Amino acid sequence: MEPSVSIRDLRISYGALDVMRDLQLDIQPGEFLVLLGPSGCGKSTLLNAIAGLIDVSDGEVWISGKNVTWAEPKDRGIGMVFQSYALYPQMSVERNLSFGLRVSGHPKDDIAKRVARAAEILQIEPLLKRKPSHLSGGQRQRVAIGRALVRDAQVYLFDEPLSNLDAKLRVDLRVEIKRLHQRLENTMVYVTHDQIEALTLADRIAVMQGGAIQQLDDPLTIYNRPKNLFVAGFIGSPAMNFFHGALVEAGGGLAFKGQGLEVPVDGYETSGPLAAGQKVILGVRPEHVPFAEAAAGRPGAVEGRVELEEPMGADSLVWLALGEGQMSVRCSSGKRYHPGDRVPLAFDMTRASLFDADGQHRL
């Protein structure tokens, strides 16, 4: 099938500085793709390039099988939602929604029909006569989404649409956006630096750093099998624990040895051959550590000393000193731990990650 959006060899520079180089990305029709990455990694730049709001230095942008690299934003079949809402302040909600259609000279009854439909989908009918300054943040963002909807575009672009909202509203609107996608079945490209948003909304996530896509996969793969140290560290909260060391021969198999630990790596699903002597980084998510009773009897169980405990409601995060390192473990909050407690824990290699010494590749 032809991709809905296709980015080919994209380069974007400001003066002598390349903020993006040789970027390739194919987005399937109806897909919900999330661009995720730290601030300044080029997410908005990429989105603006798709929208045609910045000029590309090299490469092509294709939308729905058409080369739109030189096309005006309005001719690309896109709708866009901005973090700052960007509602036209002196126009009522209704006129905000209809601005684009009025500018392009649509017939009046068609405009009315489309505005009514968008207002119905987003439940903003009672607000139609109001000015943006008389709306709450959540209502404003709904209107902003509505303004994109009336355009009947093939591709919707969202640039951190929820990050100006408070936590509760963010969750509500997140669910609504997901529903919207299920109902409309359009392609959506969604920028965020909130990984929860990314994991819950996306069909696929593109994790970006320094103007390059580090990994493009479905959320579970990104979470379970991060391709490199950056993705592993960026995804997951609290962050993954890392131990630096090397592989050694032990008891007929291989083991990770380093920072005062020796852990057999049996059960690790490797993508290439592992060899003794290889320098590696071991990554373990706090929520994947068999702890206390769960660790008892497991091979390679070790003992950690509790340093502090952070209760988080449903569960709690326990920080432990372990060998010459430190790690955090997530455990259900049935039991309290106190500084100084000695608790057994194990490494579940089926859910751990191994990276080469410079963190570039998963082993």
Partner 1 sequence: MSHQENARGPKPKRLTSSRIGIYAFLVIAAAFFLLPFYVMVVTSLKGMPEILKGNIFALPEKPTFEPWVIAWAKACTGVNCDGIRVGVINSFKIMIPSTFVSILLGAINGYALSFWRPKGGNVIFAILLLGAFIPYQVYLYPLVRMLSQVGLYNTLPGIIAVHTIFGLPVMTLLFRNYYVAVPIDLFKAARVDGGGFWTIFFRLMIPMSGPILVVAAILQVTGIWNDFLFGLIFAGRDNLPMTVELNNIVNTTTGTKAYDVNMAATILTAMVPLIVYFVSGRWFVRGIAAGAVKG
Ligand X SMILES: Nc1ncnc2c1ncn2[C@@H]1O[C@H](COP(=O)(O)OP(=O)(O)OP(=O)(O)O)[C@@H](O)[C@H]1O
Binding site for Mg ion (CB under 5 A): 44
The beta strand positions in 37-167, using DSSP E, are: 58-63, 66-67, 78-81, 155-159
**Of residues 154, 150, 158, 149, the one with CA closest to residue 101:** 150
**Of 32-40, 119-127, 130-138, 300-308, which part binds ligand X (CB under 6 A)?**
32-40
What lies within 8 Å, CB to CB, of 268 at 6+ separation is 274, 349, 350, 352, 354
Q: Does 133 bind ligand X (CB under 6 A)?
A: no
Q: Contact with partner 1 (CB under 8 A): which of 23, 27, 41, 80?
A: 80
Select the binding partner of residue 104 from Mg ion, ligand X, partner 1, none (C-beta < 5 to 8 A, by kind).
partner 1
- 46 vs 97 by CB, closer to ligand X: 46
Contact assessment for residue 350 and residue 268, using Cβ atoms and an 8 Å cutoff:
yes
Query: In the bound complex, what is the minimum distance in angstroms from residue 264's beta carbon to ligand X?
Result: 40
179-183 contact pairs (CB < 8 A, 24+): 180/121, 180/145, 181/32, 183/121
Distance, in Å, from the CA atom of 105 to the CA atom of 126, rounded to the nearest integer, reads 26
Question: How far, in Å, CA of 158 to CA of 161, rounded?
Answer: 6
Q: Applying CB under 6 A, what is the total number of residues that bind ligand X?
A: 11
Q: Residue 15: which region, alpha, beta or left (left: phi > 0; alpha: psi -120 to 50)?
A: left
Nearest distance, CB of residue 47 and ligand X, angstroms: 8
Contact, 34 vs 197, CB < 8 A? yes
Of 2, 66, 74, 134, the residue at the interface with partner 1 (CB under 8 A) is: 74
Of 38-46, 64-72, 176-184, 347-355, the segment contacting ligand X by CB under 6 A is 38-46
Nearer to Mg ion, 37 or 290 (CB): 37
Determine contact, residues 107/113, Cβ cutoff 8 Å. Answer: no
Going by C-alpha positions, the residue among 91, 111, 89 that lies closest to residue 102 is 111
- When the beta carbons of 35 and 153 are compared against ligand X, the nearer one is 35
Question: Is residue 281 classed as helix, strand or coil in its secondary structure?
Answer: strand
One of 5, 34, 43, 96 touching ligand X (CB under 6 A)? 43
86 lines the binding site for ligand X (CB under 6 A) = no
Q: CA-CA distance, 28 to 245, in Å (whole number)?
A: 41
* Residue 42 makes contact with ligand X by CB under 6 A: yes
Which one of 76, 193, 227, 362 is in contact with ligand X (CB under 6 A)? 193
Instruction: Candidates 22-30, 78-86, 112-120, 229-237: pick the segment binding partner 1 (CB under 8 A).
Output: 78-86
Q: Which does 190 bind (CB under 5 to 8 A by kind): partner 1, Mg ion, ligand X, none?
A: none
Query: Which of 15, 16, 17, 89 forms a contact with partner 1 (CB under 8 A)?
Result: 89
Q: Are 237 and 195 in contact (CB under 8 A)?
A: yes
Retrieve residue 40's tokens: 């300044």
From the list 68-76, 164-172, 229-237, 276-284, the region that binds partner 1 by CB under 8 A is: 68-76
The verdict on 72 binding partner 1 (CB under 8 A) reads: yes
Is 103 a binding residue for partner 1 by CB under 8 A? The answer is yes
Residue of 90, 123, 136, 271 interacting with partner 1 (CB under 8 A): 90
Report the distance separating Cα 340 and Cα 90, nearest Å: 62
Interacting residues with partner 1 (CB under 8 A): 48, 51, 53, 72-74, 78-80, 82-90, 99-100, 103-104, 147, 151
Interacting residues with ligand X (CB under 6 A): 14, 19, 37, 39-45, 193
